Structure 1
């Protein structure tokens, strides 16, 4: 895998019909900072360009991007648990961002993450794992409300991503941050640590 920069795809959508909608134009450049700012991002957002900071609690994010968005268990606010790695995934994530009434998504994570911060996040991933285990198999997993069951499913999907694919993505992303370019095929990637 080589890191793919999603930001050119995001910027090309601005003012154009969204590929997942019938004629509605993309109204916002989702490569910009979240209105509440980087400092207010949800701690569950994984490293990468996209994150959320104080989104709504209307259960809309997973309708557009179930493979990228999950809900926290306090107010059901959205966060990004998997970064997009192709144009169709950018379309899904920007759909989720466009549906958030607070427009609380940001795409300037590359301006804030450093290789050391990515490694720190990776070392602390046990906190996310504990949350995902509790959320994914807790009372919401069998709740009568479909949206709460879906929130639990999002936590389980996050847990799967933690163990299948996230480490490789973060190693590619760390290379991108350090070198300003994707790694060439066969080029060694930085280690994340334990």
Structure 2
């Protein structure tokens, strides 16, 4: 989390803007989820290219990040799964509040 916060503070283009809820809708989240295979294919195809970057730039770890992200999309890691996180986000988009443990999460 410290690294993400550092990236937000250092981002000169405001790429980590806090306006995602203005652009994402339940329909667009579901559409992205249905098309996630395309992201997994992209990550797989880029690993060889990113292996070169990892050799050139110490501590780059692009391949490690790509593989971690692919695992997160594909079904989960020790820190959770994208499917669960997107269902929580869908709840937020629909209800404008975080779900409680008793709330039923929407389907993707």
TM bucket normalised to smaller: 0.7 to 0.9
> Does the alignment pair 1:170 with 2:80?
no
Equivalence for 1:109:
20
**Are the equivalent residues in 2 in contact too, given 1:97–1:105 (CA < 8 A)?**
yes
Runs (5+) with no aligned partner, structure 2: none
> Does the alignment pair 1:123 with 2:24?
no
Q: Tell me the TM-score normalised to structure 1 length.
A: 0.47
> Does the alignment pair 1:186 with 2:102?
yes
Equivalence for 2:51:
141
C-alpha displacement at 1:167, in angstroms? 0.1
Match of 2:72 among 157, 161, 165: 161
Q: CA RMSD in A?
A: 2.1
Runs (5+) with no aligned partner, structure 1: 1-88
CA distance in 1, matches of 2:59, 2:42: 15
1:142-162 Cα shifts (integer Å, max 9, x gaps):
552135952222211110111
Query: Looking at both structures, which has the greater relative contact order when contacts are Cα pairs under 8 Å and sequence separation is at least 6?
Result: 1
Aligned residues: 102
Q: Which has the higher helix share?
A: 2
What secondary structure, in the 3-state scheme, does the structure 1 residue paired with 2:42 have?
Answer: helix
CA distance in 2, matches of 1:169, 1:161: 10
C-alpha displacement at 1:140, in angstroms? 2.7
Q: Tell me the TM-score normalised to structure 2 length.
A: 0.80
